């Protein structure tokens, strides 16, 4: 028989854990159909071989990886690049080391561990964190009419921490878990960020339309079971808040007797976000604000419908000097599995030659023009891709 002390500890554990609520906030319902590619068969956080021209980059080798999972990997990629390019002192890189060409597995894993730690730590307002790790041989909740097992959610170990150094160290010691491919890395980080922020707070982040009777109805979920890209998880990983709204500040939408408060981006984002959703009208509907378009470092997560990638520059001065924006270069790293070499785009905002105005405009160029309206791209000898 379980002792009273263990019974109390177990009850306190589940008050914090809430596996059913965790699944509900992610997918909108529980029990529900389970897709293994969201759980133990998701993409691992695997780098190209160290010394490779794209050694900084995560490699997605499975062409059937869901668009949402690809997009989350690209937010992690953006955090890795932020660490390598602008926080490299914490990695203690040799002065001769090019941050975009990590020369050892150790450097790659350190950058990954810091990136994961920063995502989770920011979700807890940089005060505390809950790290989720798998316990393959322990089942905390069995299948029932209220909860169907997925192979991961019912087997989580929760590690509570109050210092980012401790969080980083624990992730570093368990980095193999996040690099298992296929594996549970993406969902472990998402669950960690949600529990760190708090399920109730994440639900509030997603938006609560308030009717005339004062009844609050939360939005359905952070992710769709079909794997299409949604922006709540991306905002959670970039900003520490799971808002699906991309505009600056708070806006209100009136609909008959109800009024919806939509809280978007409250501060300038460290990492940016740019979109192209197929046409001008659909793109404008997302109303991406300047706090995403002009981040604190020149790194942007980019989304074109169901494709995603990362644009980034190596010079912080790009965002401090308008003159620097006349002509500059950005690297592009994509979530598609076929990119084998670095792509450096030359961007010119001073060209007024419209001789090719009728030529098709590649999606990535469309994305860039949502920030730099006059931009013209030189892809070099590379065929444009997304």
Asked whether the beta carbons of 167 and 117 are under 8 A apart, the reply is: yes
Tell me how far apart the alpha carbons of residues 234 and 228 are, in angstroms, rounded to a whole number. 12
| Interval 143-158 mean pLDDT | 92
pLDDT at 15 over 80: no
Strands 156-161 and 129-134, by their bridges, are antiparallel
pLDDT at 213 over 50: no
Instruction: Give which of 381, 347, 339, 376 is closest to 359, Cα–Cα.
Output: 376
Q: Within a 10 A sphere around the Cβ of 9, how many other Cβ atoms?
A: 12
Task: Please tell me the predicted confidence (pLDDT) of residue 8.
Answer: 43
The alpha carbon of 91 is separated from its chain's Cα centroid by a whole number of angstroms, namely 22
Task: Please tell me the predicted confidence (pLDDT) of residue 6.
Answer: 45
pLDDT at 82 over 80: yes
- Phi and psi based region of residue 60 (left: phi greater than 0; alpha: psi -120 to 50; beta: remaining): beta
Task: Give kind and range of the element (H or E) at residue 261.
Answer: strand 258-263
pLDDT at 35 over 70: yes
Stated pTM of the model: 0.91
* Token reading at 331: 């690297």
| Interval 361-379 mean pLDDT | 93
Instruction: Of 133-137, 166-170, 322-326, give the lowest mean pLDDT range.
Output: 322-326
Q: 266: helix, coil or strand?
A: coil
């Amino acid at each position: 028989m379980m002792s009273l002390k263990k019974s109390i500890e177990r009850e306190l554990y589940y008050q914090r854990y809430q596996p059913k609520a965790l699944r509900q906030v992610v997918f909108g319902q529980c029990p529900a159909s389970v897709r293994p590619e969201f759980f133990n068969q998701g993409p691992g956080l695997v780098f190209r071989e160290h010394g490779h021209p794209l050694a900084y980059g995560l490699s997605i080798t499975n062409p059937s990886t869901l668009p949402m999972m690809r997009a989350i990997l690209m937010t992690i990629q953006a955090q890795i690049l932020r660490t390598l390019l602008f926080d490299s002192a914490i990695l203690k890189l040799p002065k001769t080391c090019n941050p975009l060409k990590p020369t050892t597995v150790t450097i790659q894993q350190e950058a990954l561990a810091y990136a994961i730690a920063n995502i989770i730590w920011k979700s807890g307002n940089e005060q505390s964190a809950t790290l989720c790790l798998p316990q393959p041989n322990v089942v905390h909740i069995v299948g029932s009419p209220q909860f169907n097992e997925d192979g991961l959610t019912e087997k989580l170990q929760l590690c509570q921490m109050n210092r980012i150094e401790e969080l980083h160290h624990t992730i570093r010691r368990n980095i193999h878990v996040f690099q298992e491919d296929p594996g549970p890395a993406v969902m472990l980080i998402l669950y960690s960020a949600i529990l760190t922020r708090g399920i109730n707070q994440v639900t509030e982040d997603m938006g609560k339309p308030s009717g005339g009777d004062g009844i609050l109805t939360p939005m359905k979920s952070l992710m769709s079971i079909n794997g299409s890209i949604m922006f709540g998880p991306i905002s959670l990983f970039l900003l520490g808040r799971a808002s699906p709204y991309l505009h600056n500040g708070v806006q209100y939408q009136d609909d008959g007797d109800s009024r919806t408060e939509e809280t978007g981006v409250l501060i300038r984002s460290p990492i940016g976000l740019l979109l192209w959703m197929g046409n001008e009208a659909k793109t404008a509907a997302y109303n991406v604000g300047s706090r995403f378009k002009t981040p604190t470092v020149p790194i942007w997560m980019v989304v074109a419908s169901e494709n995603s990638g990362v644009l980034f520059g190596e010079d912080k001065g790009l965002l401090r000097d308008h003159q620097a924006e006349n002509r500059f270069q950005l690297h592009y790293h994509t979530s598609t599995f076929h990119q084998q070499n670095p792509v450096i785009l030359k961007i010119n905002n001073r060209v007024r030659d419209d001789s090719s105005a009728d030529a098709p405009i590649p999606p990535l160029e469309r994305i860039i023009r949502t920030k730099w309206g006059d931009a013209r791209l030189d892809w070099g000898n590379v065929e444009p891709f997304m």
